[in-house]
Amino acid sequence: MKNIMYKILFKFFNKINKFKIIVSIKYYELETNQKINYVTQGEGGLVLSGDITKFRIAETSHLKSGSYIECSGGVLIGEYFHTGRGLMIFSVAHDYLKAEALPYDEKVLFSPVIIGDFVWCGANVSILPGVIIGQGAIIGMNSVVTKDVPENAIVVGNPAQVIKYRDKEKVESLIKDKKFN
């Protein structure tokens, strides 16, 4: 009897969670006046925090479960962006270098994050304030992006480092032939 009750409760709360995610996405779309493509992949929803009016994502791009994006410094995501679950983007940081208290004071630094077209981020990628990711870049899973990523670069690690580059001519050919999803 207990097992049946837990199964019923699990299904009930699962439906509530799915409904909550749908409602939050619709709210974000209304507040930012844009379509946000969201793909469920495991647990968790999408959280946009801070000044979400400074968040922009192309209609051809998508976000997945467990993503958290702090928008106050500005976040711009280009065309055909793909990500794994657990993406974290921060566009604000504490000014610990000039702080008048430890570990930091109330001063906040706003730095936009810009992600170019055709970028692919693996699961659990973190992108720090002020980073620009160039067109066609690939960010390996669990990477922490602390500085700009050049076009077509493949980066991995914490901090993320360039390990190689995609073939520039091949990427340009695929774009010219409109072969993207």
* Annotated catalytic residue 82: no
What gap in Å lies between CA 156 and CA 110, rounded to an integer? 25
Q: Which residue has tokens 């008048």? A: 100
* The residue count for the chain: 181
Going from the C-alpha of 96 to that of each of 103, 106, 147, the distances in angstroms are: 7, 10, 18
Q: Which of 94, 147, 164, 170 is catalytic?
A: 94
Backbone angles phi, psi at 88, to 5 degrees: -130, 125
CA gap 90, 135 in Å, rounded: 20
In degrees, rounded to 5, the angle at the alpha carbon of residue 113 between the alpha carbons of residues 110 and 119 is 170
Catalytically annotated residues: 94
